[in-house]
Structures are given as C-alpha cells and as structure tokens.
C-alpha cells in the first residue's frame, strides 16, 4: 500500500479555506469528519471526503487541516492502515494512547489567536459540535458552520449520490408491519410528550418502513429521512424510487387508508426547510424528538426550547431487540454457509455465499489476511499487498453477508501448516476470552461494557491485549454494526442488554508485522436459567448464531479449563448437528467430511 500524495489537494483546500466564494471570513482550520449527513459508519463513495483528502479509507477517522498542518485521528483498529495510507503531509493521531491529544486540545495548541475553525454542519453530529465549539470558545477561537462542503469544492470527479432500487420486505421477514411500527412509535411519542420525531439514521428509516436499499455498499439502506407527526408521515427520498409499483403497493401510496398512515413523499433535499417550517408552527411547549447524534444543521433547525434530544431514538432501541420473525431469520441466515472456512480466499467465500437463498450482498468488505497483514485489524486485500496463503502463516478471514432474512459476520483464524507454540498460545487466550463472554451469565439490564473485561482477562494475565472493542450490535438484514448495544470498554451510548438483542463476540490479538488472530461469532442475548434469582431480576446469557468450526489445531488444550473444553466440544457438536444436516441434505459429502474432521472433540490430558 503506498500513501496517497496529497500535497496539491491540501494546497487547493487551503485556498478555498480563504476564498470568499465559500466562506464569509477565512478559516484557519477545517474539520473533515468520517460520516455522512446521517452519521453513517459506512458511507457511499460520494461521501468519502476524508478518504479523498487524505488517502486513509478506514471506517473511522477525522481529518483536520490547518494553514500549516494536517492531522488524522483514528483508533487502534486502523493505526497500521492509516500509517500506510497517508503521506508525510499528515500527522497520525493514535486515539486511545496516553500521549495523543484530543482534536480540541491539538487545535488549541496549533491555532493562532482568535481563529475560526470550519466544519460542514450537515456532517458533524450535534453532540460533537457542542463539545468542539465549547472547547474552542474557551480558548478564544470559534467553530463556524461552512454550508458548502469544502472538500466537494475541490473534488473534481466526485461520484453521484447513489439512488438504487428499493427492496420491500414482507411480514415473514419483518414480523411487524410498518403501520404497526409507526403506531408503536407514536405511543412512545405520547409517553414522552413529543409531537414530532425526526428519523435521520438510514437503518432506522429502513427498519421503520420495512424497506431495504443498496445505496451504501454492504449496508442495505437508502438515502432518506423521515419525519413522523402524531397524524402525518413524511418520507424524504430522492429520484423516482417511488415510481416502482411494488414499493407503492408496500407503502400503500395509492390505497385509501386512515389519514394518519398516509405517507407524504417529499424530496430528500428539502428536509431542512420542511423541518424549519414545522418548527415555525409549534406552540410554546411542543417538542421535536431527535437523536443527539443527528447533524448540527438539523438540530439547529429546531429552536432550543422545542428540542427533545436523547442518545437513542425509540426506533434504535426497538430495532435492537429482535422479534421472533427476525430471530428466526437470523438463525436461517447463519445456517447454510457453514462451509466457508473450507475455502481459502475471500472471493471464493463470496461465490459460495451468493449461491445461498436470499443472498443480497456482503455485509462488509471481506477481511482476508495472512501473516503480518493480519495485524492490520481492518485489512482489506488489494493487489499491492496481496500475499499468497502458505502453510507457514496464520490466515484470518472475517466475512459476512446480507440475506433477506438476516445479516452475518464471522471471523475464523486458521493455520494450514503447523502453528508455532506462541501462535497457539495467543490463539488459546483469545479463545478463552471468546468463551468467557459467550458463556457469561449476567443480570437483566447489564450494560455491555461490564462484560468487556471478561474477553481480555486471559490475555491480560500474560500482559497482552487488543485495541478494539469486543462486540457490536448486529442488524437484521441491516447494518452489520448497529447501536445502541455492544461490548466495549467504551461506555458511550451503551444501552442495557436485553433478550432478543444480537451482538458480536470478537476478541483478538494482533502482533505488529507478524500475525493477527480474531475469533468472532454473532450471538443472541437469551434468558439464562440460574439456580437462584436475586431480587427477581432474571439473568441473561448468549447463544451463538454463528456455527462455524473453530480450528482445534490452533488450541493449546492444556491452557483451557475443563469448562472451556466442554464449551468447545458442545459448540462443535451443535455445528455438526445443524450444519451437518444441511450439508447432508444438499448432498455435499466432501464438505460434510471436512466438517466432521474439524469438529472432532478435544480432550484435556490428566
């Protein structure tokens, strides 16, 4: 991977930062956040502004460009990748390390007195705006909204915003119709005494209307906003997508139905002006509900007295707790793809996956890395770095897919020759962490961050660790990363775990320039039966939905406790039962033989 040469681009950007065509007064710094106007984690090519200006294309990172300097903040998953992708114009800011300044502190340390710092108000979430603005203000600077995006101003071949056809999902997939979802939402609005709810997250719009799209690669969503009133529904969406008869029928656009379920289709671009118009008509105590992570532009459109901000919208929470149809779908989605570990390259995995029923797309870019590339946590193979798989190096495959019935995400780490004792030792610690989370029993209402250390304890004992969270929420034929629950040392926006939520369990260990190990299952939160029941609270645990063998050759069995051995054997028995039956019925005898070999029980010697 060679870095992108950005000298000329930075020169152009610094020019528009001073140009009266774009800014009323020159700005001394410009912030380029990672997301789009919907604060999506994964974004369409037209929104990859930070990658355009810097070359760094990981899923998380913020660039700040001043008159003299350019700096890039990213987290532990991307330290190696970012270092390889940015050129010497840039300083890499490794978030989470002790000596790394925050964006605010860095700005204060480098800016001349009384500076103006610009940012696109549609791209920056309101909570980040607030924090940044406050910090700058107290140091004598000011954060200003710059309406026209300055990266777009210098991006000559910027792609069009995608506008792909929609997929309608019927009740067998969604379990609940969209009218019912809107009715439930309105009940929540009444409870909180709000008149309006603005839906800005793309997966929330998709979930609410039981629609899917493909505007963002791997994420089955489409560009849209929704504004729900007590008896109106506005859907902000572009192009002629509403011309499609099946979509019209699904949304009952041409049916005579109760007025409060009549959807008004409004152009995507008009969301700001429509929201402003709604706010003009509000009586003193009437409130508009919005996520505090929505864009500063939309948040500012609602006068402060009318704003009702929460970290999660009610849709976000409803979506996280899967209903029976969704859980059933997630189970189905995980079944017939048990054989991916048999093959040895990402495109082959995709080929296999795409032969399955209901396959739509991958759920993220497959991470297929061998040896030292494995230490780049979110590595994606490209021709320049492509390494041949060999019998001498660890191979890590992290892949997932979108099916109409669910979303998958699985990582396995394998060795096709003889792993070293050290590789086995590290793999075993990671496995112990994986099991510690997967088998954990914890009270109803526990937040995910309280489970994170279970995944690290075995690594910590030996002085090892990994610089990423342990798990993320997983959508149901929606984003493979979704809030509001997760398992991480970070405590930000962490909603309590409840039965029906689905998260990943993916501890790892990465040795720079040497290898990467990760073991990831998607797991369902289920009620646990316990001997006692303190305060009548009830307990929870996890059930793995992913059923793919864990390579026993990599395990240093004596390092496992008997309980951990039993867990591995129970898990492999379940793989045999469920996946084995499927392979048998598909007549895939070779695959079945492989499965049986890979799921042989392990035994602790005494």
Note the residues at the interface with its own copies (CB under 8 A). Answer: 98, 138, 140, 285, 305, 440-443, 445, 447, 449-454, 456-457, 459-465, 467, 489, 491, 528, 530-535, 537, 539, 561
Complex with its own copies: residue 176 or 450, whichever CB lies closer = 450
**Smallest distance, Å, CB 535 to its own copies?**
8
Q: To which residue do tokens 């099916």 refer?
A: 403
Complex with its own copies: residue 181 or 287, whichever CB lies closer = 287
**Smallest distance, Å, CB 45 to its own copies?**
34
Quick one: tokens of 328?
Answer: 């059933």
**Smallest distance, Å, CB 130 to its own copies?**
13
Residue 559 exposed, middle or buried by CB count within 10 Å (0-12, 13-18, 19+): middle
3-class DSSP state of 116: strand
Complex with its own copies: residue 332 or 447, whichever CB lies closer = 447
- Residues in a beta bridge with 542: 525
Quick one: tokens of 248?
Answer: 């019209």
Task: Compute CA distances 70 → 53, 107, 400, whole Å.
Answer: 10, 11, 35
**Smallest distance, Å, CB 303 to its own copies?**
12
Residue 135 exposed, middle or buried by CB count within 10 Å (0-12, 13-18, 19+): middle
Complex with its own copies: residue 151 or 485, whichever CB lies closer = 485
**Smallest distance, Å, CB 324 to its own copies?**
24
Length of the chain measured in residues: 606
Complex with its own copies: residue 195 or 346, whichever CB lies closer = 195
Greatest C-alpha distance within the chain? 78
Complex with its own copies: residue 490 or 589, whichever CB lies closer = 490
Complex with its own copies: residue 127 or 452, whichever CB lies closer = 452
For Cα atoms 413, 81, 435, give the angle at the middle one, nearest 5 degrees: 30
How many helices (H) and strands (E) would you count in the chain? 19, 28
Contact (Cβ atoms closer than 8 angstroms) between residue 485 and residue 320: yes
3-class SS string, 118-177 = EECCCCCEHHHHHHHHHHHHHCCCEEEECCCCHHHHHCCCCCCCCCCCCEECCHHHHCCC
Q: Measured in Å, how far apart are the chain's first and last C-alpha atoms?
A: 49
Strands 401-403 and 359-362 turn out to be antiparallel
Each residue of 166-182: b (16+ CB within 10 Å) or e?
bbbbeeebbbbebbebb
**Smallest distance, Å, CB 575 to its own copies?**
25
Complex with its own copies: residue 420 or 457, whichever CB lies closer = 457
For Cα atoms 34, 38, 40, give the angle at the middle one, nearest 5 degrees: 50
**Smallest distance, Å, CB 440 to its own copies?**
7
Complex with its own copies: residue 357 or 530, whichever CB lies closer = 530
**Smallest distance, Å, CB 227 to its own copies?**
21
Complex with its own copies: residue 386 or 561, whichever CB lies closer = 561
3-class SS string, 312-324 = CCHHHHHHHCCCH
- Residues in a beta bridge with 228: 197, 233
**Smallest distance, Å, CB 405 to its own copies?**
33
Strands 521-528 and 539-544 turn out to be antiparallel
Complex with its own copies: residue 309 or 325, whichever CB lies closer = 309
**Smallest distance, Å, CB 514 to its own copies?**
13
**Smallest distance, Å, CB 85 to its own copies?**
21
Contact (Cβ atoms closer than 8 angstroms) between residue 147 and residue 121: yes
**Smallest distance, Å, CB 532 to its own copies?**
4
Measured on CA atoms in the order 523, 525, 526, 532, is the torsion positive or negative?
A: positive
Complex with its own copies: residue 347 or 465, whichever CB lies closer = 465
Closest CA to 63 of 72, 55, 54: 72
């Amino acid at each position: 991977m060679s870095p992108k040469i950005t000298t000329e681009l930075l020169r152009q950007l610094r020019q528009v930062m001073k140009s009266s065509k774009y800014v009323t007064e020159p700005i001394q710094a410009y912030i380029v956040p990672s997301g789009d106007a919907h604060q999506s984690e994964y974004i369409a090519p037209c929104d990859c502004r930070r990658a355009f200006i810097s070359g760094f294309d990981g899923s998380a990172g913020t660039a700040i460009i001043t008159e003299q300097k350019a700096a890039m903040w990213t987290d532990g998953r991307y330290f190696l990748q970012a270092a390889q992708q940015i050129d010497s114009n840039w300083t890499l800011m490794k978030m989470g390390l002790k000596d790394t300044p925050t964006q605010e502190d860095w700005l204060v340390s480098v800016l001349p007195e009384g500076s103006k710092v610009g940012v696109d108000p549609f791209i920056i979430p309101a909570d980040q705006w607030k924090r940044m603005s406050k910090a700058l203000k107290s140091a004598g600077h000011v954060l200003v909204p710059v309406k026209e995006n300055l990266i777009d101003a210098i991006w000559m071949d910027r792609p069009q915003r995608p506008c792909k056809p929609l997929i309608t999902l019927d009740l067998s997939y969604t379990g609940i119709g969209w009218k019912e979802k809107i009715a439930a939402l309105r009940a929540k609005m009444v409870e909180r005494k709000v008149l309006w709810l603005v839906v800005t997250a793309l997966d929330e719009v998709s979930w609410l209307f039981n629609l899917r799209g493909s505007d963002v690669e791997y994420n089955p969503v489409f560009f849209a906003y929704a504004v729900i009133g007590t008896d109106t529904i506005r859907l902000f969406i572009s192009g002629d997508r509403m011309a499609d008869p099946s979509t019209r029928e699904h949304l009952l656009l041409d049916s005579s139905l109760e007025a409060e379920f009549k959807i008004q289709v409004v152009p995507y671009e008009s969301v700001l002006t429509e929201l402003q118009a709604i706010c003009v008509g509000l009586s003193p105590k009437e409130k508009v509900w919005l996520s505090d992570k929505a864009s500063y532009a939309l948040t500012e459109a609602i006068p402060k007295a009318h704003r009702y901000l929460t970290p999660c919208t009610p849709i976000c929470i409803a979506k996280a707790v899967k209903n029976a149809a969704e859980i059933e779908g997630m189970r189905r989605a995980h079944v017939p793809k048990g054989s991916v570990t048999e093959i040895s390259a990402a495109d082959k995995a995709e080929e296999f996956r795409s032969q399955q029923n209901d396959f739509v797309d991958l759920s993220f870019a497959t991470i297929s890395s061998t040896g030292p590339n494995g230490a780049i946590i979110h590595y994606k193979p490209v021709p320049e770095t492509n390494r041949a798989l060999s019998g001498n190096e660890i191979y890590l495959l992290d892949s997932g897919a979108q099916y109409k019935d669910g979303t998958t995400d699985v990582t396995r780490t394998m060795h096709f020759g003889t792993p070293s004792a050290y590789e086995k030792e590290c793999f075993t610690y990671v496995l112990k962490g994986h099991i510690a989370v997967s088998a954990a029993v914890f009270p109803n209402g526990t937040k995910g961050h309280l489970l994170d250390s279970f995944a690290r304890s075995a690594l910590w004992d030996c002085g090892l660790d990994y610089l990423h969270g342990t798990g993320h929420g997983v959508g149901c034929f929606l984003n493979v990363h979704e809030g509001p629950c997760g398992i991480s040392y970070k405590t930000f926006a962490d909603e309590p775990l409840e039965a029906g939520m689905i998260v990943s369990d993916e501890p790892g260990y990465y040795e720079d320039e040497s290898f990467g190990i990760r073991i990831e299952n998607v797991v369902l939160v289920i009620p646990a039966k316990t001997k006692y029941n303190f305060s009548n609270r009830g307990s929870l645990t996890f059930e793995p939905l992913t059923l793919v063998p864990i390579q026993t050759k990599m395990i240093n069995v004596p390092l496992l406790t008997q309980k951990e051995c039993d867990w591995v054997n129970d898990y492999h028995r379940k793989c045999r039962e469920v996946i084995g039956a499927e392979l048998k019925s598909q007549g895939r005898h070779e695959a079945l033989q492989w499965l049986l070999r890979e799921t042989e029980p392990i035994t602790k010697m005494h």
